[in-house]
Each structure stands twice: as C-alpha cells, then as structure tokens.
Amino acid sequence: MPEFVTFSRNIFIPVTNICRNQCGYCTFKRDPDHPEARLMALDEVVSILEDGYRSGCTEALFVLGEYAEEVTQYKTWLSDMGYSTTVEYVEQLCQTAIDIGILPHTNAGILTRSELKRLKPLNASMGLMLESTATLAAHRQSPGKEPDKRIRMIKIAGELEIPFTTGILVGIGETADDREVSLRTIADIHEQYGHIQEVIIQNFMPKPDTEMEHVSPPSKNEMMEVVSMARQILPDDVAVQVAPNLIDPYTLIQCGATDLGGVSPTTIDWINPEAEWPSLQKLKSLVGEIPLRERLPIYPQYIQKRWYSDLLEGVIRSLADEQGYRKTSGFSDDQSDLPV
C-alpha cells in the first residue's frame, strides 16, 4: 500500500464543446446549432473561478473541444468576443485564473509547438490523453485521435519541459496487447524527456445516444490488470491515476494507483456528467485507512525543478508547502467543503 494517495481540488471549466472529432463514445462534443453548444464568455469563467477560489480550489482545468476553429460558426463566436484564435482566448483565461489565485491546467486537444510555447508560461501543467496507440473504430471520424499526432504532441511538451498529464482509455475496442504498447510508449517518452507527472487509467463508460452506447465497460478485474500493468511499466516517478467518480478506487490502489485526480466542490465532470464527484468524506471512506494528501496541478518534483514561469511563482508559493504539496487550506472545516 502507498504511504498516502493524492488528489487535487479543481474547477472543471468546459471552455467550448465545439470539436472537429466525432468519437464513438463522446457526449461532450456539440454541433454549433445544438442548444447546448457553447463558447463560454469571460465573465462566466470569472464567476466560476471566483467561486472555486472561495471553495479552496487550486486548479483551473480548462477543457476544450479540439480545433473548434475548423467550424465556421465557432470562428464567428470567437471573433464577436474580440479574439482571433482559441489560443489567444485561452491565454486570457489562464491569466485571469492566475490573477484570482488559481493555477491553470489546459487540455485543448492537439496543439502545435508554437501554441504550446505560448501557453506554457501561463500553465502549471498541461495534458493530452493518448487514449491508445491502436487505430480503433471508435476514432475513425476523429482526425485528432491519430496516435502518431498525439504521441508527437506529448513529445513536444517534453522538449518544452511542460509538466504533463496523459493516459489511456480502457474498453474502447483496444486489446490487452494494445494497452501494453500504449503504456510502454508513454514510459519511453518519459524516460527521454522526464515530464510526465501522471498517467490516467480511465475506464470507458457507455453513454446513451452514442455509437458505443451498448458496449460493455471494462470489468473490475480488467481494470485491476491494467493498473497493475501500468505500475509495472511506468517509471516510479510517474503517478498512476484513477477516477473515483467512475470506479471504486480502493482495489486499484492495491494494484498500484496512487492518485485520484481532480475532484471539484463547485463544478461537475463535464466529460462524464452522470458521475458525481465524491465528497471529501466519501473520498476518505473510499480509500479506507490510506491517508489522503492534497496536491497542486503541478507535482512536487516539478516545483523543485522549477518547471514553471515567473508568472506562476506567487500563486505556487502561496499554495505549496515545503515539500511541494498543498498547504493547509485555511478554509472552513479543513477542506470538508467538497461536494456531498
């Protein structure tokens, strides 16, 4: 058993759900004429950030559909807001989060080297799920899910020394061998660049009205096997993360998981909106006797290496203790204001 299990307190901000991909399991993407299609306005994001700050959150998780600018209506929305590119708008959002006192973590799908360089100073960490190195039917209408493209971006993030989150999605048509290849690919990239702080082992959950709505999710035993494989393959300094709102984590912790990802007191999981975040009390009960320790979106080793810009210095120093984990929050009831 690990000495402790980590988690972060975050705000999940779905900046836009316009996306060029059409994955067979996704309910996040919306076409621009859908009533739930969105590009969030700055004042809306500010309200969420301020609410999160008051609730003791340290991470602003900015999630976007990939290359929404390929959709004409989206470009009009963006222009009407006064921005020429999505990255320009995300820069503004990240700076706003920093000004409020929260560390940004951006996951915007595939980004170019120049886009990553622009966002690096404004982000404590960034992310892109590899999902799988296999070519899968679930991704046949998703140009951004070509494995080589995603591997290339993860490597570029390493060259730029960006603390990074990636992971695999289990149960979307890949084989056990595919999972091993995916994990070994991630491990090899980290051995070369040293920037992957956590790898998410996420179980597929079927969604109504999707191509894969009748596909069975992976079993508990499958997830135990994959987590065990991940812990064996990945370097020791890479955390294995599982999602406590999607699966009971205790057995997976016994198999090698050490992190529970972001849990929000104020926002839902927009990728899996049917799956509520556990409260802190529930989270403690899920891990049994194992202590919980709150971390920031940038892991302690990258704080020690100073893999962050001067723009983030003040916020990191205000939030991190001497070891690089979250200081005692100072909020009421010692962090018990996570959702019930």
User: In this predicted structure, what is the pLDDT of residue 102?
Assistant: 98
- Asked if residue 62 belongs to a domain, the reply is yes
| Of residues 48, 31, 32, the one with CA closest to residue 268 | 48
Share of the chain above pLDDT 90, in %: 95
- Asked if residue 191 belongs to a domain, the reply is yes
Q: Tell whether the model's pLDDT for residue 335 goes beyond 60.
A: no
Give the count of domains, the chain. 1
User: In this predicted structure, what is the pLDDT of residue 172?
Assistant: 98
Asked whether the beta carbons of 186 and 161 are under 8 A apart, the reply is: no
- Asked if residue 337 belongs to a domain, the reply is no
pLDDT tens readout for residues 29-85: 999 999 999 999 999 999 999 999 999 999 999 999 999 999 999 999 999 999 999
Range of the domain at 59: 5-319
Q: Tell whether the model's pLDDT for residue 288 goes beyond 50.
A: yes
| Of residues 30, 84, 34, 40, the one with CA closest to residue 62 | 40
- Asked if residue 335 belongs to a domain, the reply is no
Q: Tell whether the model's pLDDT for residue 329 goes beyond 90.
A: no
CATH number at residue 193: 3.20.20.70
What is the distance between the alpha carbons of residues 250 and 236, in angstroms, rounded to a whole number?
Answer: 20
pLDDT tens readout for residues 224-244: 999 999 999 999 999 999 999
Sole residue written with tokens 């005692």: 328
pLDDT tens readout for residues 111-167: 999 999 999 999 999 999 999 999 999 999 999 999 999 999 999 999 999 999 999
Look up the pTM and report it. Answer: 0.95
Which secondary structure element, helix H or strand E, spans residue 166, and what is its range? Answer: strand 164-170
330: confidence class by pLDDT, cuts 50, 70, 90: very low
Amino acid identity, residue 66?
A: E
CB atoms within 10 A of CB 63: 19
Asked whether the beta carbons of 284 and 256 are under 8 A apart, the reply is: no
All residues at 6 or more sequence positions from 155 whose CB lies less than 8 Å from its CB, including other chains: 189, 192, 193
User: In this predicted structure, what is the pLDDT of residue 154?
Assistant: 98
- Asked if residue 84 belongs to a domain, the reply is yes
User: In this predicted structure, what is the pLDDT of residue 91?
Assistant: 98
- Asked if residue 326 belongs to a domain, the reply is no
User: In this predicted structure, what is the pLDDT of residue 1?
Assistant: 84
- Asked if residue 298 belongs to a domain, the reply is yes
- Asked if residue 339 belongs to a domain, the reply is no
Q: What is the mean pLDDT of residues 186-212?
A: 97
| Of residues 44, 101, 42, the one with CA closest to residue 296 | 101
